[in-house]
C-alpha cells in the first residue's frame, strides 16, 4: 500500500508518542487492589469507555496501592496506567494536586514546568512522563479520554462510587 | 432491499455519482488539508444545494408563522408547510395526508407514540417486544412506559452475524404482546430486519408494529401500505434534509384514538377553562409553532430524491458496501461486525490493538470521517462483546475512491497505533 508514503501529521505523532502507545498496549497495575479501601468507576457516556479505580489508603493518608481496570482507547488506558505508576506510595494530598495539574496539562492551562511547580516539586519525573498526555490539546474531543481516569481517582479518594465525564 | 421503486418517473437512467456530488457543496471542502471523505451519513447526511436553497428562500422570501395570520405571507408559508406534508405522504405512499405528523425527529416521534398511544392502550402485564439491535431512542421510551404502566419489555435476540432469527423472534411474541417496536434497518449492523414476517406475527396476536425507519428510508423506497406496520418514524436529517424535523406516520384511526402528546396552541379545537377539545390529527399532535422551515427543507430533500432513480441509488450503495466489505476484510486484524445477507450500506468493524476512538482520530487527520463509539446502542455492544466499534456508512454521494481512501487511512492508522 502507499499508506507509508504520506507523512504523519505532527499533532498525531505528538498524541501517539511511544510512551502512550507503550502504556496503552501494556498497561501497568491493571488489576484490583487487594484490601482496597475505596473504589470508583468513571464513565465516558459519549464513547462507552469505562475505568474502575481501586486504591488502598492508609490511616495516615498514604496511597499505598492504586490500580485500575476497564476498557478504553489508548489515551485513557495510558493515562490510567501512568497515573497508577506515579501515585503508588504518595500522600493523598499530592494525588489531588497531581490530578488537578494533569487536567490543566491536558487542556493547556499549564505547561510542564508549571505543572511540576503546582505539585510542589515532589513528582517531577512523574509529571514529565504524564506531560506526554498534553498531545490531546490539539484534539479537543479526546481531552476527556485523558482525564477520565483522574476523575475516577478523585471520586475514589472522595469516597464517591461513580463519576462521568459529562458534568 | 429489492423492492422496486414504483414512483421513479423514467426507467433506469445510469447513476452518475459525480453529478450527484456536485449537488452537495460541502463535499468540495477539505479537512486538515485533505479532501473530505464523509463516511458518517448514518449519523447525519450532508445536504444538497436544493435543500439549502429551499431553506434560504423560505426564510428570505416566504416566511411567517403557519395556520394563523389572515394575510398573504402566512398563507403562503402555511401552503408550503402543508405541501411538504403532502410530499412526505407521497414519498412513503401513505393513504391520507392526515396520517403524516411532523415531529422534531425520530426520537420525538417514538416518544410521542410511547406517551400518547402507550399511556392510553398499554396496561400492567402487557408486553412490548423490541430487538437487541435497537438504538437507545427505541429502547428508553419503552422503559419509561414500562416504569409508568408496569408493562413488560421483551428483547428478541440477534445472531452473531447481525441477522434476526425469526423462530427466536416468534418465541418473544405471545398473546400478551401489544406492540412490537423494531428498527427497519440497524444503524450499527446494517441488517435489514425481516419486517413482513414480523408484521404477520404482530397482527396474528393483535399487536401493533412500530418501525424505526431512520436508516431504512434512506436506503430503500418505503411504502407504508405494503410494509405491514402501524407506525413508521424517521428523521429528516438522515434523509439529506435539515435537522429538527421528523415524521410519525400512523393510520388515521390510530391517530384518532390516541390522546394528544403535548398541549398548546394549534392542537385545539376550542379551549375553555372547563373543557378543551382537540383538533383532529395531525394538528392534535403538533402543539405550538412547528418546525416550519425544517418541514419545507425536508420537502425539498424529497423532491431531490425523486429526481434520482432510487433503484440505481440503491445499487450504487450496495456496490460501495461490497467493495468496502471485501477490502476491509483484507486488512490484518480487522473484523467486520454485521454481515447479515442483504444488509444495507452501513459497516461496523473492530481492529486488533486499535481502539475505535484512536482509529477515528487518526482517520480524521486523513480527512476521513467515521463514527467511533457505541452508536447509541450500548446493549447491542455488550451482546457483541465489544465496548465500541468503528462504523463507516455509505450514502448516495460516496465513491469507490472514497472506500479506497478509508482502507488506505486504516492501514496508515495501523502504522501509527500498532
Ligand atoms: C436506527 C435509529 N433510530 C433512531 C435514531 C435517532 O434519530 P434522531 O436522533 O434523529 O431522533 C437514529 C439516529 O441516530 C437511528 O440511527
For residue B248, the Cα-to-chain-centroid distance in whole angstroms is 11
In chain B, residues with a C-beta closer than 8 Å to the C-beta of A16 are 358, 362, 416-417
Residue B130 vs residue A122, higher pLDDT: B130
A3 has a pLDDT exceeding 50: no
Q: State the average pLDDT over residues A70-89.
A: 96
Ligand 1 close to Cβ of residue B105 (< 6 A) = yes
Residue ranges in chain B modelled with pLDDT below 50? 1-12
DSSP B253-297: HHHHHSPPSS-STTSEEEE-SS-EEEPPTTGGG--SS--HHHHHH
Task: Check pocket membership of B106 for ligand 1, CB cut-off 6 A.
Answer: yes
Given CA atoms B20, B24, B29, B35 in this order, what sign does their dihedral have?
A: negative
Please give the pLDDT value at position B12.
Answer: 44
Residue B416, pLDDT score: 93
Contact A48 B358 (CB under 8 A): no
> Distance between CA B111 and CA B10 in Å, rounded?
39
Q: How far apart are CA B308 and CA B87, in angstroms?
A: 15
Q: What count of other Cβ atoms lies within 10 Å of the Cβ of residue B194? A: 17
What does the block give as the cell for B284?
Answer: 392534535
Q: Do A47 and B357 touch (CB under 8 A)?
A: yes
Query: What is the reported pLDDT for B8?
Result: 42
Contact across the interface for A3 and B373, Cβ inside 8 Å: no
Long-range contacts of A37-41 (CB under 8 A, 24+ apart): A38/A156, A38/A157, A38/A159, A39/A156, A39/A161, A40/A152, A40/A153, A40/A155, A40/A156, A40/A160, A40/A161, A40/A162, A40/A163, A41/A152, A41/A161, A41/A162, A41/A163
* Confidence check: pLDDT of A1 > 50: no
User: pLDDT tens, B138-157?
Assistant: 999 999 999 999 999 999 99
| Residue B2, pLDDT score | 43
**Active site positions of B, annotated:** 376
The pLDDT of residue B157: 97
Q: Which residue has the cell 494530598?
A: A93
Residues 6+ apart with CB under 8 A from A150: A79, A83, A99, A102, A103
**Residue numbers in B near A11 (CB within 8 A):** 365
Number of H helices, E strands in chain A: 7, 4
How much is the average pLDDT of A119-129? 94
Residue partners of B145: CB distance under 8 A and separation at least 6: B114, B115, B118, B119, B122, B128, B151
State if residue B398 touches ligand 1 by the CB under 6 angstroms criterion.
no
Q: What is the pLDDT of residue B9?
A: 42
DSSP state of A21: H
Instruction: Please provide the average confidence, as pLDDT, over all residues in chain A.
Output: 91
Q: Do A4 and B415 touch (CB under 8 A)?
A: yes
B190 Cβ below 6 A of ligand 1: no
The structural domains of chain A, ordered by start, are 5-164 (3.90.1010.10)
Q: Is B264 exposed, middle or buried (0-12, 13-18, 19+ CB in 10 A)?
A: exposed
Domains of chain B by range and CATH? 9-31+310-417 (3.90.1150.10), 52-306 (3.40.640.10)
Closest CA in chain A for residue B406? A3
Partners of residue A146 on adjacent β-strands: none
Tell whether the model's pLDDT for residue A86 goes beyond 90.
yes
Helix (H, G, I), strand (E, B) or coil at A140: helix
User: What is the pLDDT, as a whole number, of residue A160?
Assistant: 79
Which chain B residues have a beta carbon less than 8 Å from that of A72?
Answer: 355, 387
pLDDT at A7: 58
A4 in contact with chain B, both atoms CB, cutoff 8 A: yes
C-alpha to C-alpha distance for A116 and A101, rounded to whole angstroms: 8
Give the Å distances, CA to CA, from B306 to B6, B51, B94, B396.
Answer: 11, 13, 16, 13
Interface with B, mutate which of A73, A80, A165 (most B CBs under 10 A): A73
3-class SS of residue B232 = strand
Please say whether the beta carbons of B185 and B216 come within 8 A.
yes
Report d(CA A96, CA A90) in Å as an integer.
10
Q: What percent of chain A has pLDDT over 90?
A: 81
Q: Specify the pLDDT at position B135.
A: 98
Give the per-residue pLDDT at B316: 97
Q: Is the pLDDT of residue A118 over 70?
A: yes
Judge whether A29 and A85 are in contact, CB under 8 Å. Answer: yes
Confidence at residue A6, expressed as pLDDT on a 0 to 100 scale: 52
Is the CB of B212 within 6 Å of ligand 1? yes
Per the omega criterion (within 30 degrees of 0), is the bond before B265 cis? no
Phi, psi for residue B87 in degrees, rounded to 5: -65, -40
Q: Is A9 on the interface with B (CB under 8 A)?
A: yes
CA–CA dist B256, B36 (Å, integer): 47
H-helix or E-strand spanning residue B114: none
**Other beta carbons within 10 Å of B7:** 12
Query: How would DSSP label each residue in B326-369?
Result: HHHHTSTTEEEE---TT--SEEEEEETTB-HHHHHHHHHTTTEE
Q: How far is CA B113 from CA B185, B250, B261, in A?
A: 19, 9, 8
**SS3 category, B31:** strand
Residue A5 reports pLDDT greater than 90: no
Least Cα distance to A46 among A137, A159, A133, A147 occurs for: A147
- What is the pLDDT of chain B when averaged over all its residues? 95
Amino acid at each position: 500500500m502507499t499508506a507509508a508514503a504520506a507523512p504523519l501529521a505532527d499533532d498525531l505523532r505528538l498524541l501517539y508518542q511511544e510512551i502512550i502507545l507503550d502504556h496503552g498496549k501494556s498497561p501497568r497495575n491493571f488489576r484490583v487492589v487487594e484490601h482496597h479501601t475505596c473504589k470508583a468507576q468513571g464513565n465516558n457516556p459519549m464513547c462507552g469507555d469505562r475505568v474502575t479505580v481501586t486504591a488502598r489508603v492508609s490511616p495516615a493518608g498514604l496511597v499505598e496501592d492504586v490500580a485500575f481496570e476497564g476498557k478504553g482507547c489508548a489515551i485513557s488506558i495510558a493515562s490510567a496506567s501512568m497515573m497508577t505508576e506515579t501515585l503508588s506510595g504518595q500522600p493523598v494530598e499530592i494525588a489531588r494536586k497531581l490530578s488537578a495539574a494533569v487536567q490543566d496539562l491536558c487542556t493547556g492551562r499549564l505547561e510542564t514546568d508549571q505543572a511540576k511547580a503546582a505539585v510542589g516539586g515532589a513528582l517531577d519525573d512523574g509529571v514529565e512522563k504524564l506531560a506526554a498526555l498534553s498531545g490531546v490539546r490539539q484534539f479537543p474531543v479526546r481531552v476527556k479520554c485523558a482525564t477520565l481516569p483522574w476523575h475516577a481517582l478523585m471520586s475514589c479518594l472522595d469516597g464517591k462510587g461513580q463519576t462521568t465525564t459529562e458534568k | 432491499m429489492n423492492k422496486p421503486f414504483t414512483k421513479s418517473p423514467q426507467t433506469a437512467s445510469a447513476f452518475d455519482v459525480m453529478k450527484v456530488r456536485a449537488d452537495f457543496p460541502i463535499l468540495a471542502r477539505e479537512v486538515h488539508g485533505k479532501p473530505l471523505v464523509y463516511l458518517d451519513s448514518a449519523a447525519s447526511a450532508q445536504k444538497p444545494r436544493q435543500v439549502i436553497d429551499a431553506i434560504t428562500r423560505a426564510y428570505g422570501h416566504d416566511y411567517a408563522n403557519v395556520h394563523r395570520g389572515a394575510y398573504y405571507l402566512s398563507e403562503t408559508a402555511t401552503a408550503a408547510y402543508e405541501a411538504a406534508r403532502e410530499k412526505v405522504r407521497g414519498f412513503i405512499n401513505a393513504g391520507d395526508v392526515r396520517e403524516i405528523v411532523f415531529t422534531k425527529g425520530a426520537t420525538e416521534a417514538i416518544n410521542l407514540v410511547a406517551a400518547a398511544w402507550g399511556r392510553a392502550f398499554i396496561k400492567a402485564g402487557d408486553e412490548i417486544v423490541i430487538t437487541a439491535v435497537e438504538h437507545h431512542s427505541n429502547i428508553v421510551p419503552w422503559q419509561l412506559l414500562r416504569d409508568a404502566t408496569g408493562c413488560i419489555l421483551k428483547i428478541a435476540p440477534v445472531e452473531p452475524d447481525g441477522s434476526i432469527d425469526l423462530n427466536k423472534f416468534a418465541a418473544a411474541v405471545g398473546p400478551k404482546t401489544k406492540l412490537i417496536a423494531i428498527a427497519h434497518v440497524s444503524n450499527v449492523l446494517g441488517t435489514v430486519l425481516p419486517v413482513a414476517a414480523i408484521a404477520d406475527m404482530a397482527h396474528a396476536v393483535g399487536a401493533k408494529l412500530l418501525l424505526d425507519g431512520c436508516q431504512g428510508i434512506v436506503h430503500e423506497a418505503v411504502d407504508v401500505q405494503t410494509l405491514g406496520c402501524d407506525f413508521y418514524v424517521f428523521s429528516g436529517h438522515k434523509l439529506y434534509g435539515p435537522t429538527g424535523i421528523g415524521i410519525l406516520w400512523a393510520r388515521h384511526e390510530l391517530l384518532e384514538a390516541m390522546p394528544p402528546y403535548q398541549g398548546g396552541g394549534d392542537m385545539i379545537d376550542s379551549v375553555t377553562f372547563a373543557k378543551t377539545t382537540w383538533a383532529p390529527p395531525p394538528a392534535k399532535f403538533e402543539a405550538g409553532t412547528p418546525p416550519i422551515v425544517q418541514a419545507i427543507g425536508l420537502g425539498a430533500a424529497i423532491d431531490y430524491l425523486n429526481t434520482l432513480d432510487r433503484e440505481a441509488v440503491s445499487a450504487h450503495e450496495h456496490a460501495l458496501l461490497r467493495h468496502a466489505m471485501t477490502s476491509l476484510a483484507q486488512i490484518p486484524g480487522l473484523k467486520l461486525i454485521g454481515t447479515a445477507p442483504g444488509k444495507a450500506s452501513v459497516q461496523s468493524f473492530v481492529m486488533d490493538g486499535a481502539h475505535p476512538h484512536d482509529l477515528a482520530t487518526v482517520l480524521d487527520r486523513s480527512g476521513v470521517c467515521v463514527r467511533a463509539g457505541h452508536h447509541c446502542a450500548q446493549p447491542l455492544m455488550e451482546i457483541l462483546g465489544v465496548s465500541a466499534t468503528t462504523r463507516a456508512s455509505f450514502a448516495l454521494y460516496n465513491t469507490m475512491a472514497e472506500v479506497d481512501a478509508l482502507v488506505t487511512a486504516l492501514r496508515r492508522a495501523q502504522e501509527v497505533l500498532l
